[in-house]
Chains A and B, each alone.
Chain A
């Protein structure tokens, strides 16, 4: 069983510590541009959405790579790029619907989230519960608990009224 980073956008407050922590652990400097994730404010929905690699079961990036440079790390489950094989054609960036892969112009390579070898920095610095590191089965119960919470709140308001 592998762990996943479970996103809960309702809890995200836009603090960007996930991106700052990511860039710091990878580059030893702080930035948004070099982070392997981004948090975006969607004004219409009044919600922040943390966007990162979803480490898909059928990764489109892996399919499209002409150099077989993208593979799955069997220990962590992360989809990772072998920068020695990568030729920087950027097709992985084009096909990913989440924008997970990007081109690092300074290092001349494609970069993406690699789950920090199974100890993700972003999760460690989220104090709001928007990012959680958990087993798939636990994630299911966690989401149902969230949903039950909303239902409970709505029902209690009905009782008050």
Chain B
């Protein structure tokens, strides 16, 4: 059978027995669930035993790409990892990029489904159809940079996904990295790899991805290239990476002291922000197929850390760590960013956790003696390096830190944590709505089935306060029907964010299922029309914009149902108490959570209503916060109906 767009094979690896099996891709299933994240939700529903320990050998781990990955459609390098997350006990997919997914497709595989636990450290090598479990003894104990460099050296032009020491010690905030340029698996993917003795995966492929209608594909592809060539800020984005958008990101991430304080961003900018970043040496790089790269190797040119280099998806990560920790300059930001990436610790989650400990120390609630003498002084680069080391190796209080917010609940109690943090489904949010407002990114954190994430449901709109006709423009681009747009704008506050987020989630599901990069710099060029053309031309399967949205809805409901089966329901979508308390800025002014257009200060009733509106928009049971039998049958997911009663209400 000839496949178009899809590579056409699934790879099953049982690490316990060493058995490797190839199966043809079930095209009917693939088409029904689109690809990537979509197919993987279906697979996970079938393979995952409910209630299982995420570190159990039987827990499945799936890596794979979508039908557009490996084609020349711009910005389609995505690799999705699907699993049950140690940090939260929720299930879902996380996206990575760089070369692994791309090479996996060219090697002839759409997905790799991994179960079991290897008896000793291994890495999976996939070079075309030569698949092997290779001895990783020489890599165990090494950090992500060392591991990746060793595997590049051994396997030439390839894609590498590697984990570090934090994963070897089963950290719940441990993640992996793709060719040092993309992180993958916040929430403990790295820990799951560690529990399987799986140090890395390597893929290299010299095969081809067939295109069903090359002329039609060319038209859609060239259209996208033309738009990028005309984009006036293309040069700025390549030059400055994600920092090109520092003005917005610094506001959205500009908080510390346990989310109670907004610092002077002008000062932050000088110390570790854009002004400081411009003094670093830099080399731009990007993923296969990208036409607007924003990744970088940065180098410190002055001071104590002169000569230090950091391969990173974004210097922004270091700036954000440095803001929370009050580090003094870009050199310290680079150092801390590099170390967290080498150990493979989620820098978003861990920075909040360490900020939390620093704040308790400043408030007098926590002494250094309480944490076995570990340094708790904010602003101390050497101190925070020690904290990350202890966290990576689970030494002393680092053992509690390695268990993330679960560890903190153990130490401080659940009630204390509920008051002091913005934990939703067991992890801290990324977007702070009291600063930016409750937009799509911010609201989506509540209802995202696997817990708040940087990529959840914000795509299409991103920033708040955009003029209404711009919002309508984005909505059309995202494939929202006229009726869906009307419903989303039917609000005295002009936008019903609960209803709108439904469509944002479908837009995200399309990107995650087809292999398209979700970063705003790439996302902005794509429209539902372009996606429909690319998918139809590549696969030979005609899908209209409306059909694609309907299929995305199926993917989302499957994603939700695996979590319902694990016990999640409306109670887990509740907003944190902290959201309704003010934050103070450096001038002493109070900031409250407001709506998209900053019309009013939001109450719990407002947010609860939008959560209800979100469920109603989805055709779900608004009281329980889960799909209904009718919705599942409508989407062809009848076999999931019995699991509706697994939700813990």
Interface residues of A (CB under 8 A from B): 13-17, 20-21, 23-24, 27-34, 38, 40-41, 43, 46-48, 124-125, 127-128
Contacts and interface: CB of A to CB of B under 8 A. Distances in A.
B73 to A, nearest CB: 9
A20 B293 contact: no
A34 B214 CA distance: 16
Contacts of B211: 24, 28-30
Interface stretch (B43-51, B280-288, B411-419): B280-288
A32 B106 contact: yes
B152 A17 contact: no
Contacts of B287: 15
A116 B298 CA distance: 37
Interface residues of B, number: 37
B293 A15 contact: yes
A14 B208 contact: no
Nearest to B291: A127
A8 to B, nearest CB: 13
Contacts of A48: 285
A128 B205 contact: no
A33 B289 CA distance: 15
B208 A27 contact: yes
A65 to B, nearest CB: 25
A28 B72 CA distance: 11
Contacts of B102: 16
Contacts of A125: 72, 225, 291
A13 B74 CA distance: 14
B288 A16 contact: yes
Interface of B: 70-72, 74, 102, 106, 149, 152-153, 157, 205-211, 214, 218, 225, 228-229, 234, 238, 283-293, 297, 309
B228 A20 contact: no
Contacts of B70: 30
A156 to B, nearest CB: 12
Nearest to B209: A30
A20 B290 CA distance: 11
Sorted from nearest, which 6 A-B pairs have the closest CB atoms?
A: A33-B206, A20-B72, A31-B208, A29-B208, A16-B288, A28-B214
Contact of B286 (A13, A27, A46, A47): A13
A46 B225 CA distance: 27
B291 A15 contact: yes
A44 to B, nearest CB: 10
Given A30-B70, A31-B106, 19 more contacts: A13-B285, A14-B286, A15-B286, A15-B289, A15-B293, A16-B102, A16-B289, A20-B72, A21-B72, A24-B218, A30-B209, A32-B106, A33-B207, A34-B208, A43-B153, A46-B283, A46-B309, A127-B292, A128-B293
A18 B291 CA distance: 11
A13 B293 CA distance: 7
Nearest to B538: A30
Contacts of A16: 102, 288-289
B225 to A, nearest CB: 6
A155 to B, nearest CB: 16
B152 A43 contact: yes
A22 B74 CA distance: 15
A82 B176 CA distance: 48
Contact of A43 (B72, B74, B149, B210): B149
A15 B290 contact: yes
Consensus secondary structure, chain B interface:
mixed
A20 B71 CA distance: 7
Given A27-B208, A30-B208, A41-B152, A14 B71 contact: no
A105 to B, nearest CB: 10
A31 B209 contact: yes
A32 B206 contact: yes
Nearest to B301: A157
Nearest to B70: A30
Nearest to A161: B302
Contacts of B228: 127
A75 to B, nearest CB: 25
A38 B156 CA distance: 12
Max count, chain A CB within 10 A of own CB: residue among B72, B74, B153, B288: B72
Nearest to B299: A46
Nearest to A125: B225
Contacts of B293: 13, 15, 128
B285 A14 contact: yes
A29 B69 CA distance: 13
A45 to B, nearest CB: 10
A13 B208 contact: no
A107 to B, nearest CB: 12
B401 to A, nearest CB: 33
Contacts of B309: 46
Nearest to B149: A43
A30 B71 contact: yes
B225 A128 contact: no
B209 A40 contact: no
13 contacts: A16-B288, A20-B71, A20-B72, A20-B288, A21-B72, A24-B211, A24-B218, A29-B211, A30-B71, A31-B106, A34-B208, A43-B149, A128-B284
A29 to B, nearest CB: 4
Contacts of A28: 211, 214
A29 B210 contact: yes
B234 A127 contact: yes
A48 B290 CA distance: 15
B208 A17 contact: no
Contacts of B229: 127
Nearest to A20: B72
